[in-house]
C-alpha cells in the first residue's frame, strides 16, 4: 500500500542540471517506491517564457524525459506525462482563475523575483497566472506531496489556498498538497549570484562530460580578493567552496582549512570539485546513452504515461463539475 500520491515536474525549457537534482529529482527517485508518482513535463508552463519559440518544446520534452530516466526514475513505477496533452488541466485552470485574485499573484514572491531576473515589466496574463495553472497540475491528480526546490514553496502555498477555497465554495473533493524541499533548497549558479537555472546560462547539466564540467568549474566565481595561490582565501564567499560542501562532504573541512591558510590554490580546488561532480554524473551518462539509442522507447513511455494520467484527470473533472453543479446533462 502506497503512502499517497506525488506530483512534480519541470518546465521543458532545456536539459536538467544539478539544481534540479538536489532540489527535487533526488527525492523523486527515493520516494517513487513509497508514493504513487506522477511527473509532469510542463510544456505549457514552458511557454510562459518561451511562447515565441514553441518549436523548441519537442526536443526539450525528450531531453527532460531522458534526464529523468538517466537519474533513476523507473518508468515501470513512476508515470511521466505531457502537460499539454491533458486538456483537463487547462479546464481546471480556468475554473480556478475565476476566484484567484490578481493581487495575490502580483504579490507572489517567486513571480516577483523571476519577473525581475528576466527583465519583465508588463507581465503577460500567462506568466502572472502560471501559479494557478500549476495548482491545477498538482490538484487534478489529488497529489498530497510535491518534491520541489525552495523557489516553488510560495506556489505550493498558493495551491493549498486555491484547493481550500474550491472545497469551501463547492464541495470538498480536492486535496491540499505539502511541499517537500530537497537536500539543497536553492543551488546557486556558477555566477555565484542567481539560482542555478536553465535560463540564466549558469548551470552544470546532468548530461555533461568531464571536460565540459571542468571548463565550467574553471569559470566559477571564487573569492575575488584572492590573487595569488598563497593568499589566504575566504570560503564563505566562494561559489566553488559552496559546491565542495555539497559534492565533497568528506574533504570539505580539510579544503576549507587549506584555503583559509593559503595552502591550496583555486585551480587545485576546482580540479577536485570537477572530479566529484563527474563521479556523481557518470552513472547518469551511462543510462542516458541507452535511452538516447532507443528514442522510440522514450516516446512509448511518454505516450503510455499520458494515457494513464488522462483517465485520472477525466475522473477528477467529473467530480469538479459535479461539485460546481455544472454537470448539466
**Residue 14 to residues 34, 77, 142, 324: CA-CA distances in angstroms?**
29, 25, 28, 38
23 binds ligand ATP (CB under 6 A): yes
148 binds ligand ATP (CB under 6 A): yes
Of the candidates 79, 83, 197, 239, which one interacts with ligand ATP according to CB under 6 A? 197
256: which residues sit within 8 A by CB, 6+ positions away?
235, 241, 244
Give min distance, CB of 26 to ligand ATP, in A. Answer: 10
Nearer to ligand ATP, 148 or 162 (CB): 148
210: which residues sit within 8 A by CB, 6+ positions away?
274, 278
Within 10 angstroms of residue 24's Cβ, the number of other Cβ atoms is 23
Q: Please check whether residue 95 is in contact with residue 320, taking contact to mean a CB–CB distance below 8 angstroms.
A: yes
Q: What are phi and psi of 223, to 5 degrees?
A: -65, 115
Give min distance, CB of 320 to ligand ATP, in A. Answer: 25
Of the candidates 5, 7, 11, 159, which one interacts with ligand ATP according to CB under 6 A? 11
84 binds ligand ATP (CB under 6 A): no
Concatenating the DSSP letter of every residue in 247-298 gives: H-TTTHHHHHHHHHTT-S-HHHHHHHHHHHHHHHHHHHHHHHHHHHH-HHHH
187 binds ligand ATP (CB under 6 A): yes
Residue with cell 555533461: 208
178-181, strands of its sheet edge to edge: 79-82, 36-42, 5-11, 145-148, 178-181
Residue with cell 502555498: 157
Q: Identify residues 167-186 at the interface with ligand ATP (CB under 6 A).
A: 184, 186
Nearer to ligand ATP, 226 or 276 (CB): 276
20 binds ligand ATP (CB under 6 A): yes
- Return the C-alpha cell found at 281: 554524473
134 binds ligand ATP (CB under 6 A): no
Nearer to ligand ATP, 142 or 198 (CB): 198
- Return the C-alpha cell found at 18: 544539478
Nearer to ligand ATP, 150 or 319 (CB): 150
- Return the C-alpha cell found at 274: 570537477
Give min distance, CB of 199 to ligand ATP, in A. Answer: 3
- Return the C-alpha cell found at 304: 503510455
133 binds ligand ATP (CB under 6 A): no
Q: Please check whether residue 47 is in contact with residue 97, taking contact to mean a CB–CB distance below 8 angstroms.
A: no
Nearer to ligand ATP, 71 or 259 (CB): 71
Of the candidates 5, 19, 84, 281, which one interacts with ligand ATP according to CB under 6 A? 19
- Interface map 24-53 toward ligand ATP (x if CB under 6 A): x-----------------------------
Nearer to ligand ATP, 21 or 170 (CB): 21
Strand partners, 179: 146
- Return the C-alpha cell found at 266: 583555486
245 binds ligand ATP (CB under 6 A): no
Residue 294 C-beta-side C-alpha neighbours within 13 Å: 12
Nearer to ligand ATP, 43 or 151 (CB): 151
Give min distance, CB of 133 to ligand ATP, in A. Answer: 13
Give min distance, CB of 198 to ligand ATP, in A. Answer: 4
Nearer to ligand ATP, 10 or 137 (CB): 10
Nearer to ligand ATP, 149 or 177 (CB): 149
Interface with ligand ATP (CB under 6 A): 10-11, 13, 19-20, 23-24, 148-149, 151-152, 184, 186-187, 195-199
Amino acid at each position: 500500500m502506497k503512502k499517497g500520491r506525488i506530483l512534480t515536474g519541470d518546465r521543458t525549457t532545456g536539459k536538467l542540471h544539478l539544481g534540479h537534482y538536489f532540489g527535487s529529482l533526488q527525492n523523486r527517485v527515493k520516494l517513487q517506491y513509497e508514493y504513487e508518482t506522477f511527473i509532469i513535463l510542463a510544456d505549457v508552463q514552458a511557454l510562459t517564457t518561451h511562447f515565441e519559440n514553441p518549436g523548441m518544446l519537442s526536443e526539450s520534452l525528450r531531453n527532460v524525459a531522458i534526464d529523468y530516466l538517466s537519474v533513476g526514475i523507473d518508468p515501470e513505477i513512476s508515470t511521466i506525462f505531457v502537460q499539454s496533452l491533458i486538456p483537463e488541466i487547462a479546464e481546471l485552470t480556468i475554473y480556478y482563475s475565476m476566484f484567484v485574485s490578481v493581487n495575490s499573484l502580483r504579490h507572489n514572491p517567486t513571480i516577483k523575483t523571476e519577473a525581475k531576473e528576466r527583465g519583465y515589466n508588463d507581465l503577460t496574463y500567462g506568466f502572472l497566472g502560471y501559479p494557478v495553472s500549476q495548482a491545477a497540475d498538482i490538484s487534478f491528480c489529488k497529489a498530497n506531496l510535491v518534491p520541489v526546490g525552495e523557489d516553488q514553496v510560495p506556489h505550493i502555498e498558493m495551491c493549498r489556498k486555491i484547493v481550500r477555497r474550491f472545497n469551501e465554495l463547492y464541495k470538498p473533493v480536492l486535496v491540499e498538497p505539502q511541499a517537500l524541499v530537497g537536500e539543497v533548497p536553492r543551488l546557486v549558479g556558477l555566477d555565484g549570484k542567481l539560482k542555478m537555472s536553465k535560463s540564466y546560462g549558469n548551470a552544470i547539466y546532468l548530461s555533461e562530460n568531464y571536460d565540459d564540467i571542468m571548463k565550467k568549474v574553471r569559470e566559477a566565481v571564487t573569492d575575488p580578493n584572492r590573487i595569488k595561490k598563497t593568499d589566504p582565501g575566504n570560503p564563505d564567499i566562494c561559489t566553488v567552496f559552496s559546491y565542495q560542501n555539497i559534492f565533497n562532504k568528506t574533504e570539505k573541512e580539510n579544503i576549507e582549512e587549506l584555503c583559509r591558510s593559503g595552502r591550496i590554490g583555486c585551480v587545485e580546488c576546482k580540479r577536485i570539485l570537477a572530479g566529484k561532480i563527474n563521479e556523481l554524473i557518470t552513472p547518469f551518462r551511462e543510462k542516458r546513452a541507452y535511452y538516447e539509442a532507443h528514442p522510440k522507447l522514450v516516446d512509448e513511455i511518454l505516450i503510455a504515461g499520458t494515457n494513464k494520467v488522462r483517465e485520472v484527470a477525466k475522473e477528477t473533472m467529473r467530480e469538479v463539475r459535479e461539485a460546481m453543479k455544472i454537470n448539466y446533462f
